[in-house]
């Protein structure tokens, strides 16, 4: 199991008058090759939970195991864990610091004491994966990139560390529709062709619905739901009760059902909606 969380509890500002518990008794496991979406209201604890996966937070109570390594065990080398689990932050382009694209992407592997050839190989691979041409962009000034390109460069910087698991923390926020589409295509390709396990935190239900296979819903620091994407989004009343919005398509199908159409549960994409509405309408025409 790449990631296993057992009875995890976590508090902020422990030992001060501002102490606040943010995670309560969380247990979950993520299997190799999964594409897991994490959703939940703002400040529900999604980021805090995910930062336990690569030992940016160490559990105060409970355990987190990465490939069997206990992150709270003093003997565990946290660097090994961080190489296995990559983490891309929200607005990752704000964290770029090297003058050129190539130098920034090489930073992670450079910290792993690899040979120069190996580092260069990894930079090439990572750039190819995010769709930045090595010959054009390697020496490109970071400031000369567009917002979407900067974000892809930042993702490449994490990929160059060759993680087995990739945590993506709200990485499409603020992009325009085209930029968002490009990033999502990159992520899906990583999952399909590289077999990287993906943990995808997002505020956009439409996005999660189209990419994730499994969804974990966090509310007030607890696991509220954990199931397949279809299953989770067919329980819309519960999702609405904690203030989450549903994918637009799902809302629409629900309205049609209320109007007396017989449609299946858990429709998530425009194409699925079209297929099932067409089928239902044809059936009605036929029986008339």
Residues of the shown chain interacting with other proteins in the complex, contacts defined by CB under 8 A: 12-14, 16-17, 41-43, 51, 54, 56-57, 78-79, 82-83, 86-87, 89, 92, 94-98, 107-108, 111-112, 146-148, 157-158, 161, 173-179, 203-205, 243-245, 248-249, 251-252, 255-256, 259-261, 270, 273-274, 277-278, 281, 284
- Complex with other proteins: residue 27 or 147, whichever CB lies closer: 147
Contact 192, 21 (CB under 8 A): no
What is the closest distance, in whole angstroms, from the C-beta atom of residue 122 to other proteins in the complex? 12
Residue 30 to residues 34, 38, 45, 213, Cα–Cα distance (Å): 7, 12, 18, 12
Q: How many CA atoms lie within 13 A of 30 on its CB side?
A: 32
- Complex with other proteins: residue 128 or 279, whichever CB lies closer: 279
Question: Could you tell me which residues come within 8 angstroms of residue 127 by beta carbon, excluding any fewer than 6 positions away?
Answer: 101, 105, 133, 134, 137, 138, 156
What is the closest distance, in whole angstroms, from the C-beta atom of residue 161 to other proteins in the complex? 6
Contact 247, 268 (CB under 8 A): yes
From 119, 95, 20, 21, select the one nearest 62 (Cα to Cα).
21
- Complex with other proteins: residue 162 or 191, whichever CB lies closer: 162
What is the closest distance, in whole angstroms, from the C-beta atom of residue 4 to other proteins in the complex? 20
What is the closest distance, in whole angstroms, from the C-beta atom of residue 110 to other proteins in the complex? 8
- Complex with other proteins: residue 185 or 192, whichever CB lies closer: 185
Contact 24, 222 (CB under 8 A): yes
Q: Cα angle vertex 198, ends 237, 63, to 5°? A: 85
Q: Rounding to the nearest 10 degrees, give the CA dihedral for residues 77, 80, 83, 86.
A: -50
> What distance in Å separates the CA atoms of residue 246 and residue 237, rounded to the nearest whole number?
10
In DSSP terms, 69 is beta-bridged to 66
- Complex with other proteins: residue 135 or 202, whichever CB lies closer: 202
What is the closest distance, in whole angstroms, from the C-beta atom of residue 226 to other proteins in the complex? 20
- Complex with other proteins: residue 15 or 68, whichever CB lies closer: 15
> What distance in Å separates the CA atoms of residue 137 and residue 257, rounded to the nearest whole number?
50
- Complex with other proteins: residue 117 or 285, whichever CB lies closer: 285
What is the closest distance, in whole angstroms, from the C-beta atom of residue 206 to other proteins in the complex? 8
* Helix, coil or strand: residue 175: coil
> What distance in Å separates the CA atoms of residue 127 and residue 186, rounded to the nearest whole number?
11
What is the closest distance, in whole angstroms, from the C-beta atom of residue 275 to other proteins in the complex? 9
What is the closest distance, in whole angstroms, from the C-beta atom of residue 217 to other proteins in the complex? 14
Strand duo 35-39 + 214-219: pairing: parallel
- Complex with other proteins: residue 188 or 269, whichever CB lies closer: 269
């Amino acid at each position: 199991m790449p990631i296993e969380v057992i009875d995890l509890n976590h508090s902020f500002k422990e030992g001060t008058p501002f102490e606040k518990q943010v995670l309560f008794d969380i247990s979950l496991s993520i299997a190799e090759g999964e594409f897991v979406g994490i959703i939940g209201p703002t400040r529900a604890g999604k980021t805090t939970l995910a930062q336990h996966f690569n030992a940016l937070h160490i559990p105060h109570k409970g355990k987190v195991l990465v490939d069997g390594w206990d992150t709270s065990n003093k003997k565990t080398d946290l660097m090994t864990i961080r190489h296995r689990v990559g983490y891309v932050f929200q607005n990752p382009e704000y964290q770029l610091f090297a003058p050129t694209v190539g130098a920034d992407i090489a930073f992670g592997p450079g910290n792993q004491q690899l040979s120069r050839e190996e580092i260069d190989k990894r930079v090439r691979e990572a750039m190819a994966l995010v769709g930045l041409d090595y010959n054009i962009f390697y020496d490109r000034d970071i400031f000369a990139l567009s917002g979407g390109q900067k974000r892809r460069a930042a993702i490449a910087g994490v990929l160059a560390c060759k993680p087995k698991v990739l945590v993506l923390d709200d990485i499409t926020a603020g992009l325009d529709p085209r930029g968002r589409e490009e990033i999502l295509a990159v992520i899906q390709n990583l999952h399909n062709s590289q077999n990287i396990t993906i943990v995808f935190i997002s505020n956009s239900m439409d996005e999660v619905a189209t990419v994730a296979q499994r969804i974990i819903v966090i509310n007030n620091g607890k696991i509220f739901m954990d199931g397949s994407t279809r299953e989770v989004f067919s329980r819309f009343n519960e999702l609405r009760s904690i203030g989450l919005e549903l994918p637009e398509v799902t809302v629409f199908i629900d309205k049609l059902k209320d109007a007396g159409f017989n449609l299946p549960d858990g429709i998530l994409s425009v194409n699925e909606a079209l297929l099932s509405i067409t089928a239902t309408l044809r059936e009605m025409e036929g029986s008339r």
